[in-house]
Amino acid sequence: MHRKSVRPIYQVLLPCLVVCLALGALAKNARNFGGDYRILHVTEKGGSVEVQMSLRVINVSGEDVKDATISLRSSLRAIPRGDALDWEKEQPTFKGLTLNYNEHNIVPPLEATFTIPAREYDLWRKGNGPNFIIDYKDASGEPRRERVELIPKR
């Protein structure tokens, strides 16, 4: 009699356990860096576009990050692997950054002017937005490369 009353509990608890484990695995793959960007000035130059922009990056990784580098990459590739494209190599990068965990109010904006292919800028205008990548070492010293999730600031 006791066995029959316990069985429905296992039928509920086992699926709940599976869901909790799956959500935990997804949380480890969550975005660690986000923020916003603002396009300050745009100048079209034939097949390229000069874009002056400002961005604020917030670290939500759970740990402070030191000596990070943020660079602009093509929007055609989510997380670039290997060598940068020729136009990407010519872009300014933000080096030696310290991004403290969850520091929202005092993060100074990063500003630079980028010269990108007109096709890349067309993707931005259609809602794709710029693709900034952060390279850093995590708390265990392992190199990491992640996309910075940015939204346009009006």
Same domain, 14 and 40: no
Tell me the pTM.
0.76
Least confident of 17-26, 92-101, 133-142: 17-26
Give me the domain span that covers residue 60: 32-152
Same domain, 43 and 118: yes
Three-state SS string across 41-70, please? EEEEECCEEEEEEEEEEEECCCCCEEEEEE
Same domain, 142 and 98: yes
What count of other Cβ atoms lies within 10 Å of the Cβ of residue 114?
19
The larger pLDDT score, comparing residue 107 to residue 105, is at: 107
Least confident of 18-32, 70-84, 87-101, 140-154: 18-32
| pLDDT tens column, 16-56 | 443 443 334 334 446 899 999 999 999 999 899 999 999 99
Q: Could you give the number of structural domains in the chain? A: 2
Strand-pairing partners, residue 143, are 137
What count of other Cβ atoms lies within 10 Å of the Cβ of residue 95?
11
Same domain, 26 and 38: no
Closest to 121 measured CA to CA, from 84, 76, 82: 76
pLDDT of 39: 96
Q: How far is CA 109 from CA 58, 94, 95, 106, 151, in A?
A: 10, 11, 14, 9, 14
